[in-house]
């Protein structure tokens, strides 16, 4: 199963429209005036304007590339750029020789003739325990194939894929004004019912590694805003309690909540200081906010029905949640003090709301004959379906840039994690290994 | 020499995620569940609404660190409970947690057995079918266990003999994707252990 797909050639009109601001951006950057708000490409949806970028094999400038790292990194970076929905990758065979301006220029001429608008030349130095990478970004639209950006990265040896992701994120930054999301992880639940463990993998599904190994039932991992920890529900002590684990550190789990009843549905506040959660200790499932530094618990909902699945607005001033107080579960919104409650969606079996990182919309799951993902504006207007009823699609999680969603679907016959653009286009499988993968949580950009 | 790249080789799993290596950790929990403060009388029953449960913030914090206090109330160990043939499951309609009339008769019988066996504690498991989403089903299973418990209490079973647990959709007893199977999974199940 390939994560990648083919793209049509971008029409000339599109690239001419892009060329001018792109050139001026490079000048701005040289003057140190490159603004983060400048947007040079359409980044709001599936879009039609794709930039053709040449990503030849990286050039080895030091050390011996016995494992084909130059090829791997170009492939991974190219995959990231394709995934972004902004680029169409033009690949070449063989690496451009080091320190040979004439051959470099000849390569760019050939790539430009093949339709490339930009060229990414990567240079790799393999120095024992260190991996040094440099990206050089060229404008192939200008006749002189001008160098528009360079950046160096240094990582421990063995992190070739991460280097590739960082370079891809930098390329996206150069063209859109916003860093890409390739240097992120996805946490999810792996395993059949009754034996579910938390796993994390790169955002593209590579390198899955177990986080829990307790042989119990572990559910709903959720990243903290610093991408250093996950909150999750586990039955490892017999009851559904909430824990926090630190997957990149040798550090024991913390118990966050272990009251009588359910301790579920963790959601870190955007500042990382609080955790919204669901407890039933006071009689039925209600939403609380735990202040992590002090352990103080504040109750937000008071209702005889089920209130659960809190999700914070990016400002931290509001929470959405689901409640069956008026019948079937629907999405509600309240402020962070639990007041000003309003019903956002109606009529449905609506669960799993997740507030978008930009704050303007919420994605949620609608159960009809199957489960599908829908999105609604924050004022409740324009609810629209994102998935098309092919199997069930549930449990969406936002990429940190708000352009992609990951979710679980059984459309291929078993539960796997998929990703798509926020307009519902380009769904692709993320997990490819054996077993049932559910309940994804997309990490913030890694520290 | 140039080829349009339609499929980038993504199957190379070289050196995947070294960031993770060395940290595939055992789920060690140092902050073991703190015992309930002495005098917390009923250790098992879910408190009636109003919150008589202990939730003292900060209490139980170790060494003044910034880690949150483990907010724990003592509960009997789940693994000590066992099913008993005398207690029969009750079942629920889709997305419902009210006790159906036929199941009330079952619960009457269960209540009688429990009253004649006062030395047994009971654990009520609340379960859901696979439809609906994970978190909601955990809440729904909780409501099913709770309404079952409330019914038993109304029939004279002491609340402090009863503990409830929700498994949501995580422990189906029937795994086919059919209505007859789903109906079997929307249930409350009973386990007991001697006091």
Residues B134-151 have a mean pLDDT of 96
Residue A272: count other Cβ atoms within 10 Å of its Cβ.
15
Does A7 map to a domain?
A: no
CATH of the domain at A17: 3.40.50.10070
Q: Which residues pair with B162 in a beta bridge?
A: B122
> Quick one: how far is CA B132 from the chain centroid?
17
Same domain, A153 and A199: no
Per the domain annotation, does A5 fall within a domain?
no
HSE, CB side, 13 Å, CA atoms: give it for residue A447: 8
Q: What is the rounded distance in angstroms from the CA atom of residue B43 to the CA atom of residue B160?
A: 7
In a domain, A2, yes or no: no
Q: What is the largest CA-CA distance in chain A?
A: 75
- Domain count within chain B: 1
pLDDT in tens, A343-355: 999 997 999 999 9
Q: Which segment of A99-108, A327-336, A381-390, B11-20 scores lowest on mean pLDDT?
A: B11-20
Dist. CA B192–CA A260, nearest whole Å: 18
Query: A189, A196 in Cβ contact below 8 A?
Result: yes
Question: Which residues are CB-contacts of A163 (< 8 A; sequence separation ≥ 6)?
Answer: A73, A131, A133, A153, A155
Which has the higher per-residue pLDDT, A441 or A12?
A: A441
The domain that holds B168 is classified in CATH as 3.30.1330.60
Q: State which of A127, A155, A176 marks the end of a domain.
A: A176
- Report, as an integer, the average pLDDT of A9-37: 36
Mean pLDDT of chain A: 89
Do A438 and B136 count as a contact with CB atoms less than 8 A apart? Answer: no
Helix, strand and coil content of chain B, in percent to the nearest 5, comes to 25, 15, 60
Does a structural domain hold residue A244? Answer: yes
Looking at the complex, report in whole angstroms how far the Cα of residue A376 sits from the nearest Cα belonging to chain B: 19
Q: How confident is the model at residue A1 (pLDDT cuts 50, 70, 90)?
A: very low
Q: How far is A79 from chain B (nearest CA, A)?
A: 6
Torsion of CA A60, A61, A65, A69, to 10 degrees: -40
pLDDT tens digits, one per residue of B13-55: 222 322 333 333 333 333 333 333 322 333 333 333 333 333 3
**Is position B155 within any domain?**
yes
Strands (E), A101-212: 118-127, 130-139, 146-156, 185-190, 197-202, 209-210
A217 within a domain of the structure (yes/no): yes
Q: Cβ distance A351 to A362 under 8 Å?
A: no
CB B91 within 8 A of CB B184: yes
* Cβ count near A97 (within 10 Å): 12
Judged by DSSP in three states, A446 sits in coil
CB-CB under 8 Å, B12 with A281:
no
pLDDT at A84: 96
Straight-line distance from the first to the last Cα atom of chain B, in angstroms, rounded to the nearest whole number: 79
Of A156, A176, A196, the residue at which a domain comes to its end is A176
Query: pLDDT tens-digit profile of B156-187?
Result: 999 999 999 999 999 999 988 899 999 999 99
In a domain, B37, yes or no: no
Q: Are residues A168 and A193 in the same domain?
A: no
Contact between A226 and A246 under an 8 Å Cβ cutoff? The reply is no
Mutation for testing the A interface, residue in B68, B123, B131, B132 having most A CBs under 10 Å: B68
Q: Is the pLDDT of residue B12 over 50?
A: no
- Verify that A136 and A204 share a domain, yes or no: no
Cβ atoms of A37 and A21 within 8 Å: the answer is: no
| pLDDT range class, residue A48, cuts 50, 70, 90 | low
- CA dist B88 and A294 (Å) reads 44
User: Residue A45's pLDDT is what?
Assistant: 42
The total number of residues shown for chain B amounts to: 195
- In a domain, residue B1? The reply is no
Question: Which pLDDT belongs to residue B30?
Answer: 31
- Please tell me the total count of domains within chain A: 2
Nearest C-alpha neighbor of B78 from the set A437, A131, A72, A234: A234
pLDDT beyond 80 at B121: yes
Q: Are strands A393-398 and A404-409 parallel, antiparallel or unpaired?
A: antiparallel
Say if residue A389 is in the same domain as residue A427: yes
Q: Give yes or no: residues A100 and A148 share one domain.
A: yes
pLDDT average, residue stretch A80-89: 96
Task: Return the pLDDT at A242.
Answer: 98
User: B143–A284: do the CB atoms touch at under 8 Å?
Assistant: yes
Residue of B13, B58, B142 lying closest to A294 (CB–CB): B58
Mean pLDDT of A371-395: 95
Q: Where are the alpha helices (DSSP H) in A328-390?
A: none
- Per-residue pLDDT tens digits for A210-260: 999 999 999 999 999 999 999 999 999 999 999 999 999 999 999 999 999
Q: Are the beta carbons of B27 and A214 separated by less than 8 Å? A: yes
Edge-to-edge strand ranges of the sheet holding A393-398: A393-398, A404-409, A416-421, A428-429
- The answer to whether the CB of B166 falls within 8 A of the CB of A262 is yes
Beta-carbon separation of B12 and A264 below 8 A = no
pTM of the full structure: 0.83
Q: Is residue A302 part of a domain?
A: yes
Do A214 and A154 lie in one domain? The reply is no
What is the structure's pLDDT at B64?
A: 31
pLDDT value at A3 more than 90? no
Q: What is the pLDDT of residues A95-123, one digit of tens each?
A: 899 889 999 999 999 999 999 999 999 99
pLDDT value of position B53: 35
Q: A95 and A164, same structural domain? A: yes
pLDDT digits (tens, 9 = 90+) for A61-84: 999 999 999 999 999 999 999 999
Of A117, A146, A176, the residue that ends a domain is: A176
- Segment A170-206, tens digit of pLDDT: 999 999 999 999 999 999 999 987 789 999 999 999 9
Residue A365 sits in which domain range? Answer: 185-442
Residues A273 and A388 grouped into a single domain: yes
B61 pLDDT tier (thresholds 50, 70, 90):
very low
pLDDT at residue B65 is higher than 70: no
CATH number where A349 lies: 2.120.10.30
Q: Do both A199 and A165 map to the same domain?
A: no
pLDDT over 70, % of chain A: 89
A259–B55: do the CB atoms touch at under 8 Å? yes
* Within a domain: A1: no
**Are both A96 and A130 inside the same structural domain?**
yes
* Helix locations, A177-214, DSSP H: none
Which residue in B50, B2, B134 sits closest to A309, CA to CA?
B134
pLDDT of residue A128: 87
ipTM greater than cut 0.90: no
Sorting pLDDT into bands at 50, 70 and 90, what band is B74? Answer: confident
Looking at the fold, whether A206 and A336 belong to one and the same domain comes out as: yes
Residue A31 belongs to a domain:
yes
Q: Pick A285's closest partner by Cβ from B6, B139, B169.
A: B139
Same domain for A124 and A231, yes or no, is no
């Amino acid at each position: 199963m390939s994560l990648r797909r083919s793209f049509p050639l971008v029409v000339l009109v599109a690239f001419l429209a892009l060329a001018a601001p792109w050139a001026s951006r490079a000048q701005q950057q040289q003057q140190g005036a490159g603004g983060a708000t400048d947007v040079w490409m359409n980044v709001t949806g599936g879009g039609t304007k794709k930039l053709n970028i040449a990503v030849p094999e990286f050039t080895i400038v030091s050390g011996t590339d016995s494992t084909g790292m130059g090829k791997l990194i170009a492939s991974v970076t190219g995959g990231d750029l394709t995934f972004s929905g902004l680029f169409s990758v033009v690949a070449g065979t063989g690496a451009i020789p080091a320190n040979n301006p004439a051959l470099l220029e000849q390569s760019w001429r050939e790539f430009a003739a093949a339709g490339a608008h930009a060229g990414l030349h990567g240079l790799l130095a393999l120095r024992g325990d260190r991996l040094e990478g440099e990206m050089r970004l060229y404008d192939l639209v200008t006749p002189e194939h001008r160098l528009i950006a360079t950046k160096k990265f240094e990582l421990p040896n063995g992190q070739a894929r991460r280097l590739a992701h960082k370079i891809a994120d930098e390329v996206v930054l150069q063209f859109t004004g916003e860093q890409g999301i390739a240097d992120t992880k996805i946490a999810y639940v792996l395993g059949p019912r009754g034996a579910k463990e938390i796993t994390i993998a790169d955002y593209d599904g590579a390198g899955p590694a177990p986080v829990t190994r307790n042989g119990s039932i572990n559910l709903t991992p959720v990243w903290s805003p610093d991408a250093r920890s996950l909150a999750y529900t586990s039955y490892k002590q017999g009851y559904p309690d909430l824990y926090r684990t630190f997957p990149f550190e040798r550090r024991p789990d913390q118990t966050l909540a272990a009251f009588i009843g359910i301790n579920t549905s963790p959601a870190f506040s955007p500042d990382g200081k609080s955790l919204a959660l669901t407890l039933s200790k006071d009689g039925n499932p209600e939403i609380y906010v735990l202040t992590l530094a002090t352990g103080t618990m504040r109750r937000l909902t008071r209702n005889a029905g089920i209130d659960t699945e809190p999700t914070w607005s990016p400002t931290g001033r509001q929470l959405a949640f689901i409640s069956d107080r008026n019948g079937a579960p629907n999405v509600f919104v309240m402020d962070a003090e639990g007041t000003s409650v309003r019903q956002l969606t109606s009529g449905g079996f609506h669960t799993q709301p997740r507030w978008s990182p930009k704050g303007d919309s919420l994605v949620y799951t609608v159960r009809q004959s199957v489960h599908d993902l829908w999105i609604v504006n924050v004022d409740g207007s324009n609810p629209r379906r994102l998935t098309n009823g092919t199997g069930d699609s549930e449990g969406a999680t936002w990429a940190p840039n708000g352009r992609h969603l990951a979710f679980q679907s059984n459309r291929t016959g078993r539960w796997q994690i998929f990703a798509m653009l926020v307009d519902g286009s380009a769904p692709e499988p993320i997990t490819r290994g054996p077993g049932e993968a559910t309940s994804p949580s997309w990490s913030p950009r890694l520290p | 020499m140039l080829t349009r790249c339609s499929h980038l080789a993504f199957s190379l799993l070289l050196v995947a995620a070294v960031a993770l290596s060395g940290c595939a950790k055992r789920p060690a929990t140092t902050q073991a569940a703190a015992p309930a403060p002495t005098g917390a009388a009923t250790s098992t029953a879910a408190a009636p609404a109003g919150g008589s449960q202990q939730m003292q913030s900060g209490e139980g914090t170790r060494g003044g660190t910034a880690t949150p206090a483990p907010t724990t109330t003592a509960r009997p160990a789940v693994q000590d409970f066992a099913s008993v043939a005398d207690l029969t499951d009750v079942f629920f309609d889709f997305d419902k947690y009210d006790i159906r009339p036929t199941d009330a008769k079952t619960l009457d019988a269960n209540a009688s057995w429990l009253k004649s066996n006062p030395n047994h504690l009971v654990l009520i498991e609340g379960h859901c079918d696979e439809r609906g989403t994970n978190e909601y089903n955990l809440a729904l299973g909780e409501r099913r266990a709770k309404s079952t418990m409330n019914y038993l209490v109304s029939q004279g079973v002491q609340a402090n003999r009863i503990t409830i647990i929700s498994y949501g959709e995580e422990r189906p007893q029937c795994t086919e994707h059919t209505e007859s199977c789903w109906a079997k999974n929307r249930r409350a199940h009973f386990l007991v252990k001697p006091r």
